[in-house]
Structure 1
């Protein structure tokens, strides 16, 4: 390296003295830049390359195309390595893209044009703009689908966690490739297997990749790039061994890789840093934590300025773990603060450019640390700053997917842009058609699901790009605990309940407590999950055992408090803790997240309500009803799930009190000058509900049978229609298919009758509800059984009817946790609306109605089973 340094200086001095202003000077300067780059002297590399570009070209060997597609690409790469990625992108935009515009007639199959865009996409990817880079590469593959470009395209899919698409690209590239590109394919394929958790397959593939390379030949030929690739392949293999808990093997391969790297790379090269990550993880896995931390810190010092680097985040995740194990609290605090900044920046930036499914996959990488590990560290250390981080992590992660999706809808609505609105409508229709076809056996599908999925992806991708021009879909994720505190008054308290596993294989429940006068949030330990076993629902509200578990540990925090705003977690989603004995003197609000204190907005008062009740489940599909329904219904919304023989909980008999219920409520609303529509008997169809899409209803009341089945129940042969066995359907959508409402005419399909082709079956699932546009819906009241239940997802809440209505646009939801009595529910609901129109808040209206029911007819319905089932979500306003 010292000889190369003297040669560089000698060559440079000759050029300067002789003022060589021709192609030879350009060549020498370019070579000097290359040498400086390999020595990691990026600023010198930039200087030489810019001087080279300043020399006039007088050689026929050099064309303008060649200069732009190679020299400027190289210069941009040097700026990127120097940390100035803005300058790198600016060079590519202003030089290469300008050249493209001037040569429109030679773009197709033009190597220079392809090279320009390839460089542009590569820098976008390196700066974390994987989705934007993916769009460029898709365009490139349409021009020339060669195998090495397919590998790059696969890597971009890998970066956004779309591993199936990445594998498809790698496999296609492997089918027809040279020896060199085969190595690249196999290496990328192994990395993808590892990310999918298939470590043994990753190890096998990486070994095959390494076997194709002769390290002696690389050394002999002085092949810098080949040498770098070979040592990286060794490091990748070590990494896969680490993931597979084979730490001894990881040490063997990584030590070999590091020994070779030291011959070619400077001590602070990123490739060296990667080796130290693997060594740190291996030593950590073998129990030598001090040695592990020394390697990880060495690596972190190299990566620390690369906030969105996945290697930096990986280093931090292990430094968190090992610092905690060694009880190094100061270091733990420092690394958690760094991780929170890095994770926040990455998630906020990525969410702005990813589709909903892509966001769902992307957030999984952060879920374990943000939802489990950081709360665990706070639980054991009692550190104020770590508790602060746990609260901020909860605000960022709780309902992040739901809020980002609803934010997209809000941005579209507020944009007033017809193109954007029409694109959204087209996307919704295509998604619905795809969902309905996927529920059918493949032999009976009318469309090619894969083709439609590609159309949907392009539509949603285009929509996300346009949304960025009109608004920020991540505003709610940026909130911190101080933002929540700012909206509290002295007698308020905000409680974020968390649940996470501890070292003793139990689930611990804690409350993050925040008052107006809090210097920091506090973490209060409540109980372990196993303490909930043995409790019966009816006993929760009649004895103080549950109160002692949930509220007694918070007694000190609740001194001087009147209003409690809490967001549940785990089993608390299914328990009405706001009704537990001893809590009667507090105003308790159940929230999706305490973030609602900041983001909740009072909807515009329209005084429009639609009421469903007294539904005729045996209703015939006579022509007048069908014509009326179809006139309101878009054909794309028709669904026919396989529900034959399904026995719904709560039965399918007529609920006589529901007709009385909606009649009384309708009169109360009419008297208060509300515009009220009653859909009863045969008119309360599934079609009529879906026809509410986009109608700006403020209040929706549905009094009927409800149902929810967990996956275990649905595995029963009677519920096979609820089990969609297709990898194109998300876990969320599968869960939403297992809960719903029974509408008019449902008994025909339940009793195995054949229905006309142009009508719905009467089984309204949460998945279908999510696809209806109910924006502007301030309050939905689900006067039915089990409407508050669903699959509980870590960080995202309950996947059931409440999720369906929230995705549709509902603000507040009144729902039930168990099967409810028909008559008692009628009394409760009618009194609730009387209170509401008299000016009481939603929460006051419900609590007063519950008291009224308990006192009714000398306490006939005093037992909690009659009144405590109904909970109000997000009823702040």
Structure 2
């Protein structure tokens, strides 16, 4: 992002307190010196001479008053004016000295309001930020925030929000930066009179954050809308060009960048990258050299990041030319520039620790490029050392990514890092397998397993881990309640805004949303600062095979799959063994996978032969190699990857035609890391609630059909049963957390294009008001169901949703995992009412006898399949295989009698 730098001149009119009367003395002309300095510093046509004289006069004033302390109020004012003028001259280090002196006068000036210190705190933070010392900057910004909380109308508050946006942006937390930039804009425009330049700056920054979030159309609309102001036009053109660059529109980027009149490292870097994209390597090298020359000329510390980017692009250029060692040399230099305090000259060296999240996106890209280069070098040299170096660089990449994920405080920002990780996830795992083949060292297989786990539901795993940390870190309950209330309010406003057509009402909703989002950030920061939670969540939690084995019961086995380009790996973990197998994927694998999912859902037509072929085909590929490791086991925990998330493994059949359901209970989970955070133990029936809102007649205007068989699902429940209009959304939200088992027999809709619009339906008392009866996915995230041991979602499509690479299906069922429930039975497709009711009734029958969830679900299905009263045509998978149990290990089940 090209951040427009606006340094602040503090005018005498901003001096918000009266100076004390001082005795006349020969030195009393300090005020005349000060006003002379003010006049010169604000000269209409400044020159080197006027600047020199202005600074000289400022320094004489602060020198005299700091030595004599005859007028500390005026000294405070002089300190700030001197510091501000030094910032105008871009002498940040000297500026910090005087700002600190101003802040230190607080104890000597008890009559001055705390709000007066807001500006020097913000300016001091700005100076440290310009010096590439973000941690020091954060200290002063935090103090300024505390003053702003106390004085909400403090002057120039918008500056603080904009700067906090810049900090969040620089750390890659783009969603958070959007919140701060929007608040800066609304705070500024709330003033009757404001400087248009500031509006351009803040909106420009907002657009740049949207660009990083890949919301290119929104960003370009803002940039173009600012051009008519004719303020910072070059910076706007630069940003438009960089947006085209991010979109891969290199010719458009070059056209815009060539219109920019100034020359700096960012512009030359972007031109170099654009010409590289156009495969004009000569011009790419020309502009990158210009960027490097500027760095040498300026010799300014805050330009080091731009130089790091220049070096990375040079590395890409040499890699493209086939000069791998030269490319690696440039990548190593780039890493040295991007990691504060790191001085690793050897290309085989990588940073061991990371203590900052600034410029991480650039660093992640550089580490990834270095790892690829080492892999290429190995293909030429044949040296195992080079292949090991590639793996070690990938491990540094993951160490940084994991650090950043722990620092970020929302899933949207974490998913940006997940995307970066997933884009390269196959390479390090393949390298591990390759190294194992070369060395037979099983440590590489364990490393492959850990890398696989890095790309499975890492965001969910981190969220669950943080939830447990919060529960045990002594956070005051009222803070957590406030956090929950703010999240629910934000969700409600967000969903309401999505349906609002009136532009004025929409603007008001967006303003409210931003206000609540800022308040949420403040609460979360308070939780981090004043409890141990902030320190706890930064601890790295590396998953080990031994730790996973410790949670596996003796009769169980984990089958964790990983999809490579041309093969499938399966890690098999039992309480005393860790094995793996690799199966080559036939050319028709993906097509057959989609065909199996489609055939499994069918309830009509004669597809038995085709379905049998498909189930045996995938059994042979996915389960047959595991038989030697699962002998004697009763329970399988399946952790799928990619398209395997859609397969009901229970229907896969061996060569005899026996499907998996006949021999095993089957449970699914997102990852072993999530599994570790899942509470073990068999379910204890404390209390149960069942809701069937569509069991009876419905009000006029309702478009969802009745589900008459859902009444039968409720009959086996030993607890509260709410049917029809009693099964309202309000009842569920208010009371769900009080129940041990929740059974929802209703409609559900999964929206693959916008998962946040996925919902579970309750009784539609007001069919024209979606919020009154639809429980949307974000609302489920905000529920508190940590005491709920089982949720049964007997609703079509509750288990499907958008398949997010590295996270799995972003489904309604997954949302209940976020809400704290460890076990969810969900539906993978539109279910048959009668068969669903049958299986649900038997499920609860066995649960009430004390059996485990997995065993009860399996036996309920077997009862259905073995019932002679059920027609053979209704025993195809489409009638019974839609149910899926997502959960953890339980105590050994009882056999029923």
TM over 0.5: yes
Does the 8 Å contact 2:790/2:821 carry over to 1? Answer: yes
Matching of residues 61-210 of structure 1 within 5 Å: 98-99=104-105, 104-105=112-113, 108=116, 112-121=120-129, 126=134, 143-144=155-156, 153-154=165-166, 156-158=168-170, 159-162=172-175, 169=201, 171=203, 194=245, 202-209=253-260
Who is 1:471 aligned against?
533
Distance in 2 (CA, whole Å) between partners of 1:612 and 1:578 is 28
Q: Deviations along 1:195-227, whole A, 9 cap, x unmatched?
A: 576655654454444x334xxxxxxxxxxxxxx
Q: Please, which of 257, 263, 268 is the counterpart of residue 291 of structure 2?
A: 257
Inter-CA distance 332–540: structure 2 relative to 1 (3 Å threshold): farther
Who is 2:834 aligned against?
823
Distance in 2 (CA, whole Å) between partners of 1:557 and 1:360 is 35
Who is 1:532 aligned against?
593
Distance in 2 (CA, whole Å) between partners of 1:254 and 1:179 is 29
Who is 2:710 aligned against?
658
Does the 8 Å contact 1:154/1:169 carry over to 2? Answer: no
Does the 8 Å contact 1:813/1:872 carry over to 2? Answer: yes
Who is 1:321 aligned against?
372
Q: Deviations along 1:32-76, whole A, 9 cap, x unmatched?
A: xxxxxxxxxxxxxxxxxxxxxxxxx966698788889999999xx
Shift of 1:433: 3.0
Does the 8 Å contact 1:319/1:335 carry over to 2? Answer: yes
2:286 matched to 1:278?
A: no
Who is 2:214 aligned against?
none
Q: Deviations along 1:157-213, whole A, 9 cap, x unmatched?
A: 35323486779746558979999987777667765765576655654454444x334
Greater Cα shift, 826-835 or 100-109: 100-109
Greater Cα shift, 575-584 or 198-207: 198-207
Shift of 1:787: 2.7
Who is 1:704 aligned against?
746
Inter-CA distance 254–545: structure 2 relative to 1 (3 Å threshold): same
SS of structure 1 residue aligned to 2:839: helix
Q: CA RMSD in A?
A: 4.9
Q: Please, which of 832, 835, 839 is the counterpart of residue 846 of structure 2?
A: 835
Q: 5+ unaligned residues in a row in structure 2: which ranges?
A: 1-61, 68-74, 87-91, 183-199, 206-222, 343-350, 601-607, 655-659, 891-897
Does the 8 Å contact 2:254/2:274 carry over to 1? Answer: yes
Matching of residues 325-344 of structure 1 within 5 Å: 325-327=376-378, 330-344=385-399
Who is 1:237 aligned against?
271
Shift of 1:601: 1.6
Q: 5+ unaligned residues in a row in structure 1: which ranges?
A: 1-56, 75-79, 82-87, 214-229, 622-643, 670-675, 712-733, 750-754
Who is 1:392 aligned against?
450
Shift of 1:567: 1.2
Inter-CA distance 574–519: structure 2 relative to 1 (3 Å threshold): closer
Shift of 1:847: 1.3
Inter-CA distance 444–169: structure 2 relative to 1 (3 Å threshold): closer
Who is 2:551 aligned against?
487
Matching of residues 783-798 of structure 1 within 5 Å: 783-798=794-809
Q: Please, which of 722, 735, 739 is the counterpart of residue 755 of structure 2?
A: 735
SS of structure 2 residue aligned to 1:448: helix
SS of structure 2 residue aligned to 1:327: helix
Distance in 2 (CA, whole Å) between partners of 1:614 and 1:389 is 49
Q: Deviations along 1:413-449, whole A, 9 cap, x unmatched?
A: 6634214313421331243133223222135847712
Does the 8 Å contact 1:832/1:846 carry over to 2? Answer: yes
SS of structure 2 residue aligned to 1:454: helix
Shift of 1:611: 0.9
2:867 matched to 1:848?
A: no
**TM-score of the pair, normalised by structure 2:** 0.68
Who is 1:26 aligned against?
none
Distance in 1 (CA, whole Å) between partners of 2:296 and 2:377 is 31
Q: Deviations along 1:439-460, whole A, 9 cap, x unmatched?
A: 2213584771220121122122
Q: Deviations along 1:237-293, whole A, 9 cap, x unmatched?
A: 323444565544321211333356556769997765543321111232344444423
SS of structure 2 residue aligned to 1:843: helix
Q: Please, which of 672, 686, 689 is the counterpart of residue 594 of structure 1?
A: 672
Distance in 1 (CA, whole Å) between partners of 2:155 and 2:118 is 9
Matching of residues 377-456 of structure 1 within 5 Å: 377-378=431-432, 388-406=446-464, 415-443=475-503, 445=505, 448-456=508-516
Shift of 1:560: 6.2
Inter-CA distance 325–93: structure 2 relative to 1 (3 Å threshold): farther
Does the 8 Å contact 1:513/1:524 carry over to 2? Answer: no
SS of structure 2 residue aligned to 1:700: strand
Shift of 1:843: 0.8
SS of structure 2 residue aligned to 1:511: strand
Who is 1:570 aligned against?
642
Distance in 1 (CA, whole Å) between partners of 2:231 and 2:698 is 69
Who is 1:690 aligned against?
733
Shift of 1:801: 2.1
Q: Deviations along 1:604-648, whole A, 9 cap, x unmatched?
A: 957111112373453349xxxxxxxxxxxxxxxxxxxxxx796x6
Inter-CA distance 183–440: structure 2 relative to 1 (3 Å threshold): closer
Distance in 2 (CA, whole Å) between partners of 1:834 and 1:73 is 79
**TM-score of the pair, normalised by structure 1:** 0.69
2:887 matched to 1:868?
A: no
Who is 2:723 aligned against?
680
Who is 1:552 aligned against?
624
Shift of 1:697: 1.3
Inter-CA distance 812–444: structure 2 relative to 1 (3 Å threshold): farther
Matching of residues 287-302 of structure 1 within 5 Å: 287-300=322-335
Distance in 2 (CA, whole Å) between partners of 1:871 and 1:737 is 22
SS of structure 1 residue aligned to 2:829: coil
Does the 8 Å contact 2:488/2:779 carry over to 1? Answer: no
Distance in 1 (CA, whole Å) between partners of 2:164 and 2:543 is 38
